[in-house]
Structure 1
Amino acid sequence: MIRIRGHIGELPVDLSVELDEQDWAQLARQLPASANVQSMQASTEDGIDPHWLGAQQLLRDVGRMEGPQLLAELEAMSGSAQVAKRLLVRLRHNAQVKVQSSADAPIYSWVGEGD
């Protein structure tokens, strides 16, 4: 059961929502964040991070991309802004990636030969 208490304007709100196991399962399937947590847990168990591999492949394929555009692509790929930001930081500190400052935004370039 979920209980929500608060105010909407001057009106008090006290709402209880009851969910059975099927409702929770259906809700979990619709939340991208829970899917990311599950995939992150699975990747940790296997020792492989599919988001990290995808981020490297994305930059390798395009060769060069501005930071805001790369962040948007990583968010679309991972389904999470938080995961995308972490991937961007990892790319910034990767020896195979060169980051150049420009007037508008940093430019990320793939310079590595392999993984």
Structure 2
Amino acid sequence: MIRVRGTVGAWPVDLQIELDDQDWAALARQASAEPATTAAAAARPSGDDPLWSRAQALLREAGELEGPELLAALAALAGSDQAGKRLLVRLRHCDQVEIVQRGEAPLYRWIAQ
């Protein structure tokens, strides 16, 4: 049995998961089938992603954009709102981008030369 206790926001969480021997065996097979380092490397975006390069170029050429405006441009560039949001998250964590909180919308600035 696995027990998880804590909170999600203000809500208390007390979760118990019971696994029988077959479930444990299946979980062990899955864990040994793909090492964690391989999974982490697969989840990490590659540096030669053309869409990522275009997203960076979009902000670099604009200099700065407010969050909603940048999200709309990224969604149009990527072809969907979900893909645009992923690019926005990547920009948020990019070393070349500075985020200034102004009012309700953050301002994204390209700071690298």
Q: TM-score range by the shorter chain?
A: 0.5 to 0.7
Gaps of 5+ in 1: 1-43
Q: Equivalents in 2 of 1:48, 1:58: separation in Å?
A: 16
Gaps of 5+ in 2: 1-44
Give the aligned partner of residue 37 of structure 1: none
Indicate the percent of aligned positions where both proteins have the same amino acid. 52
Query: What is the TM-score normalised by the length of structure 2?
Result: 0.57
Runs of 4 or more, structure 1, over 4 Å off, are none
Aligned residues: 69
Change (3 A) 1:97 1:47: closer
Write the mapping of 1:31-110 to structure 2, written as runs, cut at 5 A.
Answer: 48-110=48-110
Q: Equivalents in 1 of 2:61, 2:75: separation in Å?
A: 17
Give the aligned partner of residue 10 of structure 2: none
Q: Equivalents in 2 of 1:62, 1:97: separation in Å?
A: 12
Query: What is the TM-score normalised by the length of structure 1?
Result: 0.56
Q: Equivalents in 2 of 1:58, 1:47: separation in Å?
A: 17
